[in-house]
Amino acid sequence: MTNTTSSIRWSPSTPITRIRVQELMDDPALDPREHHAALTGLKRLNAWSKSARILWPKIESLAKKANANGQSLRVMDVATGSGDGPMAMAKLARRRGLKINWTLCDCSSRALEVAQQNANAIGERVNLLRIDLLREQIPVRSDVVICSLFMHHLDDDTGRDVLRTMASAADVAVGIADLDRSNTGLALAWIGSRVLTRSRVVHFDAIASVRAAFTLEEVQAMAHDAGLRGASLSRAWPARWRLWWERPSVESRNEACR
């Protein structure tokens, strides 16, 4: 990965080669006020794009099943950032009378502080876990382990490692949503970031993120190599993809062995 933060140019008619640069948000020397402003800007951008609704239908279905059996669904969001995605889903769960226990994980204590503030703002109790997903195994288990807008930070090898790590901590399912590398995605990222926030960090990182994103076909190959056989992949608006994998039940495994 290069460390340049020079301008990233693109043309709608040019095929997009995957290019990874260091995003400004990942700079440990970033001023805390700029970091906070960027998290706020990203929260606004994610709300506009309805990012939380990409994984919600699957989570809602599992929550209904768990609640019907008298249990709360345990959902862990890794690389949670400001926690705006899971907290948007927490509000949806409340409207539907569903019980979900949330665990928010991130390697940044600064991000977890903001996530706690966002949870407090809606009166949602959450568990916080500081963990570096690239260097540590997840020390606790959950029914569902999810991740949004993080995979584009990774290369193929670390991407496969993250998929394996998430699957190892999930008793029921893994859900991932991220950007799709496309000209449409670049256009939406440029327009949305500039309309919805003044943060220079978001302006740069939004374009850099799309440039670094995986295509649906690349994710499919990665999931297969990571052992998430049978994972379903689909496109979602706006210029996103969704991966959903459920752990085979005992009955399914027995059937496959016959």
- pLDDT on residue 66: 98
- One digit per residue, pLDDT tens: the chain, 258 residues? 444 334 445 444 445 899 988 898 888 889 989 988 998 888 888 788 888 899 999 999 999 999 999 999 999 999 998 899 999 999 999 999 999 999 999 999 988 999 999 999 999 999 999 999 999 999 999 999 999 999 999 999 999 999 999 999 999 999 999 999 999 999 999 999 999 999 999 999 999 999 999 999 999 999 999 999 999 999 998 899 999 999 997 444 434 434
- Other beta carbons within 10 Å of 100: 23
- pLDDT on residue 11: 45
Answer yes or no: are the C-beta atoms of 188 and 32 closer than 8 Å: no
End-to-end CA distance of the chain: 46
Answer yes or no: are the C-beta atoms of 183 and 12 closer than 8 Å: yes
- pLDDT on residue 249: 74
Instruction: Look at the alpha carbons of 169, 243, 90, 172 in this order and tell me if their dihedral is positive or negative.
Output: negative
pTM for the structure as a whole: 0.85
Answer yes or no: are the C-beta atoms of 67 and 98 closer than 8 Å: yes
Strand 142-148 relative to strand 73-78, pairing: parallel
Q: Please name each of the domains of the chain with its CATH number.
A: 54-180+215-257 (3.40.50.150)
Could you list the beta-strand ranges (E) of 111-252: 126-130, 142-148, 170-179, 232-236, 240-246
- pLDDT on residue 48: 85
- pLDDT on residue 256: 42
60: exposed, middle or buried (Cβ count in 10 Å: 0-12, 13-18, 19+) = middle
